[in-house]
Chains A and B, each alone.
Chain A
Amino acid sequence: MASVKKHKSEEMGLHDEVLTGRTQQVFFNPEESENFFYHDAYDVDFNKRTEIDAKNLDCRDINDQIKNMMSKGYGTIVIKNPGSKHSVGVGILNKLNLIVDGSLGYFGIGSVDGPTVRISGRVGWSCAENMMAGKVVVEKNAGSCFGAAIRGGDLICKGSVGARSGIDMKGGTIIIGGDAGAFTGFMMQRGRIVILGDVGPNLGDSLYDGTIFVGGSIKSLGADAVEAEMTDLDVAWLKRKLKVSEIDKKVDFKKMTKIVSGKKLWNYDNLEPTERKGAI
């Protein structure tokens, strides 16, 4: 078994897993992330504010305008009349304060790295898919696949979300103020999901790693998802994260349910065929 050097991210309680087999593990470095800029990132001023009226624009035009405004140094951009259009605010690899005054359709704020985004309405399927870093706050409900495959950052929905939130997520935090649907955390590999309300069937199905905290009831656990004991470190982390998430809800953190991987499916490809059958 390969040993892993103690890293600062571990000390911060970000993860405690030790990977084995053919898996190559690269730890997240908070300092590096904070000071990371893309070579063509724009130097923006958060005090410089502008608005984009999206009423008669398609998603390509809206995204072009965001880029154009960033190139002019605008650090705060407000999108008016988004009209639930799809793929708005995708591919922003920049520090930016983006405010969406309304609702977004599918694939909103996808593949971003760095911006802080606030959406006053609802989002459709696959909001913030593949997010690397930043913070996205949705004031109302969200569709399915919320935060699919995110690598980092904080993704917050103050309302309820559909099915398969956090599917394939590899880092970061998803916080849901209301309820969540079936297969939440499906094939999750790292990171944390916090659901303050109830959650549907097959929670954490085929969970590789990461942690899911649930405030309400759980309809059923998926394959290889098991309950674990809440620790003081968990409670401290939840308190801190919930404060940052701005969700105004009284929560008894100690009574939350903690779900982790049973690790029977973990490193699945290294198991013998007979062991695979047993794991399933």
Chain B
Amino acid sequence: MCGIAGIIHKGKSTNVGGEMQKMLQSLKHRGPDSTGYALYGNGESNNYILRFKVGENVKEGSSAIMEDASIYETRKDEVNKKIKEAGAKIHKQAQITPYSFRYVISYKGDLLDLAKLIESVEMTEILSLGKSLELIKDIGDASVVADNYGLNKFNGTHGIGHTRMATESGVDIRSAHPYWAYPFSDVSVVHNGQLTNYWNNRRTLEKKGMRFMSSCDSELIAVYLADKIRNGVDLEEAMRGSLEDLDGVFTYLVATKDKLGMAKDHMAAKPMVLYESKDLVALASEEVAIRTVLPKEIDTYDPYEGEVKVWQA
């Protein structure tokens, strides 16, 4: 059934990593297989933050292969070469897990060109590439992932996250949420539900040159929005369009550098509870998640069917 959550602070930075960890941990019962975070920090001036992996973490149902860790170093070196080849400069590099890396790079060219070069390295997937977005996802509950990736002290304005119960595809990182809206910096998506016209839409988008990394239906939303944004459509308008073009039952959250949005399908079959004040907006599949960051009595409500909302940081 999956759990999704998001929080956005209006006009201030706070420990959004710690807040998201608490919210997602309280939704563990909705999805114990993997957890993902899309956190929006204060950035590294004009540089890009690149999060990528060169291998998979695999559990039941996955068609991916768990490889020997010795291959990861070789792939990382190849990625470094590709980054230089693209004309980008690496300022900082950190290995977070054996297969997962965080780089700070400067780059002035087309992000699509850079992304294609990096992903030409075998088993390499960019999780995020942006000036404030850092996308982290792995197998395990929210606390495990936050501890392994050091997210509990992450400062930023907003974030979205996901706890996954694997249904449509296996348990691995590539099927975990959030999804980055490749190749647009700082756009991420989490989703709860099922899309029933996935293949039709995927084929259409692939013909347009859009790239899919998994067979998870949720990735379609990120790619769909990326395609709309690429064609100059405003985020909110693209989200409204998704309610007409995507079939199924779904509620999803999308975040950009300075915005957080939500959309709910016309059947209102998937839950979402929302709290909004002048300082912040918090929303989640269940109110218990909101209570972990706002323990006092608060007024919350369920957005209605076909509703789209967008908030500014």
Query: Measuring CB to CB, which residues of chain A are less than 8 angstroms from any residue of chain B?
Result: 83-86, 102-103, 105-106, 120-122, 124-125, 140-141, 143-144, 159-164, 179, 181-183, 200-201
Contact = CB atoms under 8 A, between A and B. Distances in A.
A21 to B, nearest CB: 31
**Interface majority SS on B: helix, strand, loop or mixed?**
loop
A124 B268 contact: no
Given A140-B299, A200-B304, A182 B288 contact: no
8 contacts: A84-B288, A105-B287, A122-B301, A125-B271, A143-B302, A144-B302, A181-B268, A181-B305
Contacts of A164: 268
Given A124-B271, A201-B266, 13 more contacts: A83-B288, A83-B295, A84-B286, A84-B290, A86-B288, A103-B297, A105-B288, A122-B301, A124-B273, A124-B287, A140-B299, A181-B304, A181-B305
B116 interface: no
A140 B297 CA distance: 11
Contacts of B120: none
Contact of B268 (A105, A144, A159): A144
Interface of B: 266-269, 271, 273, 286-288, 290-291, 295, 297, 299-302, 304-305
A106 to B, nearest CB: 7
B286 A182 contact: no
Contact of B301 (A105, A141, A163): A141
B271 A182 contact: no
Contacts of A84: 286-288, 290-291
Contacts of A120: 297
A37 to B, nearest CB: 35
A122 B304 contact: no
A141 B288 contact: no
Contact of B286 (A124, A163, A200): A124
B163 to A, nearest CB: 16
Contact of B300 (A106, A141, A183): A141
A163 B272 CA distance: 12
Contacts of A102: 297
Q: Which of A84, A160, A162, A164 has the most CB of B within 10 A?
A: A84
A106 B266 CA distance: 21
A88 B267 CA distance: 27
Contact of B266 (A85, A141, A182): A182
